[in-house]
């Protein structure tokens, strides 16, 4: 069995591409592979995101607006995930496509449109979205990201329980398909070049 934790920006097109790459790799596997899509947000990740995208790092208004928008989208994703992983994934993909790829403005109206499109239970979503439980789940996700050393969007940690490794491997989600395939194989792969996390 393989577990993949993929840490993403819920409003980013590149993260959407990385998610699709992992899903394609998983479809070709005979082993059971569980993919967990985790929206993340913390000051270090935002700092790297601003630098990586050539945004000014000293514009506090822009930074605060960005943090607020991504935080809201993260909570939306968590609320959608409560209706099942498949529903959560559909919601995330549509959100990233419309905001990240098609450059539509993130808003409650856009979220409502996506919920309609994917046939989600809107009333349940609204109740869940306002609950303390969603914020608690979000905090747990951030703790997991911190423990795994995630400091940028689109990072993945792969635990392959069918190999002789007893630790997870942290890689960039845009790593080569060959590296991803290698880490999903049953046999041990000490030759791969990736940061290793031991638990």
Residues whose CB falls within 8 Å of the CB of residue 28, separated by 6 or more in sequence, listed in order: 181
DSSP, res 172: E
pLDDT at 32 over 80: yes
- The residue with tokens 């539509």 is 104
pLDDT value of residue 87:
96
pLDDT tens digit string along 45-88?
999 999 988 999 999 999 999 999 999 999 999 999 999 999 99
Question: In this predicted structure, what is the pLDDT of residue 187?
Answer: 61
**More confidently predicted of 64 and 29:** 64
Domains defined along the chain, listed by start = 2-198 (3.40.30.10)
N-terminal to C-terminal alpha carbon distance within the chain: 18
DSSP 43-69: HHHHHHHHHHTT--SS-HHHHHHHHHH
Task: Judge whether 174 and 154 are in contact, CB under 8 Å.
Answer: yes
User: What pTM was computed for the model?
Assistant: 0.88
pLDDT at 189: 46
Q: What is the 3-state secondary structure (H, E, C) of 77-111?
A: HHHHHCCCHHHHHHHHHHHHHHHHHCCCCCCHHHH
Gyration radius (Cα) of the chain, Å: 17
**Share above pLDDT 70 across residues of the chain, in percent, rounded to a whole number:** 93
């Amino acid at each position: 069995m393989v577990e993949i934790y993929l840490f993403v920006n819920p409003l980013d097109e590149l993260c959407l591409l990385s998610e699709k790459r992992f899903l394609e790799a998983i479809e070709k596997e005979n082993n059971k592979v569980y993919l967990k899509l985790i929206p993340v947000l913390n000051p270090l990740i935002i700092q790297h995101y601003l630098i990586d995208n050539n945004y000014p790092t000293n514009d506090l208004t822009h930074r605060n607006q960005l943090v607020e928008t991504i935080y809201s989208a993260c909570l939306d994703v968590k609320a959608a995930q409560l209706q099942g992983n498949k529903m959560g994934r559909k919601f995330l993909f549509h959100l990233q496509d419309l905001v990240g790829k098609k450059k539509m403005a993130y808003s409650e109206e856009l979220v409502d449109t996506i919920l309609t499109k994917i046939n989600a239970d809107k009333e349940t979503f609204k109740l869940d979205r306002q609950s303390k439980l969603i914020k608690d789940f979000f905090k747990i996700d951030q703790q997991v990201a911190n423990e795994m050393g995630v400091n940028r969007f689109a990072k993945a940690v792969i635990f392959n329980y069918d190999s002789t490794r007893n630790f997870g491997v942290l890689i960039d989600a845009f790593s080569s398909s060959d590296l991803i395939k290698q880490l999903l194989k049953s046999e041990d792969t000490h030759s791969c070049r990736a940061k290793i996390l031991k638990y």
